[in-house]
Amino acid sequence: MLRYWDAPPWSERVRSEQFITACRQMAEGGTGARLAVDRVSGGAFIGWCGLNRWNPDYRSASLGYCFNDAAWGHGYATEAARALPRWAFDTLDLNRVQAETDTRNVASASVLEKLGFVREGTLREDCVVNGEVSDSWVYGLIRREWRPSSEPVPAR
């Protein structure tokens, strides 16, 4: 699940608790929100998606998501993340949403492209996790270029 993440997997419960605390602080401070994603059938937690690094002065934020590897390839990331640009542009009045993905994570790049994001560049050697150096692609979605999906949300 964390193969392309910018940090090694957490091995201690305290790290998960710190993550949850940071999510709460981000929401309370108005700098972002992470949303849990549950599968409709069965209600199992399969990951999260959210907006962070909200900047009201620049009217921008960053989009991110992380899903359990058992949920990969089923369209859950695309389905869940599809709501975030609408929220960012219509409710938060942002002008830009940015996302980054490891260049080896072609599936994540595909999710962003399905949502209308445009690849804008490469951050060379921007992450070093457990001694492994990797590059990231930067994607952007601008309000004036965004086209809300007319696709219905699939029933599961």
- For the beta sheet containing 60-67, the strands, ordered from the edge strand earlier in sequence to the opposite edge, are 33-38, 45-55, 60-67, 96-102, 132-142, 118-129
Please give the pLDDT value at position 30.
80
Residue with tokens 């599968």: 39
The answer to whether position 152 is within a domain reads no
Residue with more model confidence, 5 or 148: 148
Looking up residue 36, the CATH number of its domain turns out to be: 3.40.630.30
Of the candidates 111, 118, 115, the one whose C-alpha atom is nearest the C-alpha of residue 140 is 118
Report the 10 Å Cβ neighbour count for 34.
Answer: 20
Residue 154 confidence (pLDDT) above 60? no
Neighbouring C-alpha atoms within 13 Å toward the C-beta of 113: 9
7 belongs to a structural domain: no
For residue 4, being part of any structural domain is answered with: no
Closest to 137 measured CA to CA, from 149, 147, 148, 127: 127
Q: 44-85: per-residue pLDDT in tens? A: 888 889 998 988 899 999 999 988 888 888 888 898 899 899
| Structural domains of the chain, count | 1
Q: Which residues are CB-neighbours of 7 under 8 A, at least 6 positions away? A: 129
- Identify whether the C-beta of residue 116 lies closer than 8 Å to the C-beta of residue 146: yes
Residue 50 lies in a domain: yes
In a domain, 76, yes or no: yes
The token pair at 55 is 């900047």
pLDDT of residue 132: 85
> What are 85-144's pLDDT values in tens digits?
999 999 999 999 999 999 999 999 999 999 999 999 999 999 887 788 999 999 999 999
With bands split at pLDDT 50, 70 and 90, how would you rate the model's confidence at 10?
A: low
- In terms of pLDDT, which residue wins out, 114 or 28? 114
Q: Decide if 1 is inside a domain.
A: no
Which of 16-25, 95-104, 145-154 is most confident?
A: 95-104
Q: What is the extent of the structural domain holding 94?
A: 13-145
At residue 153 the predicted structure's pLDDT band, cuts being 50, 70 and 90, is very low
The structure's pTM equals: 0.81
> Is-contact 5 108, C-beta < 8 A?
no
Q: Which of 1, 19, 30, 15 is closest to 107 using CA atoms? A: 1
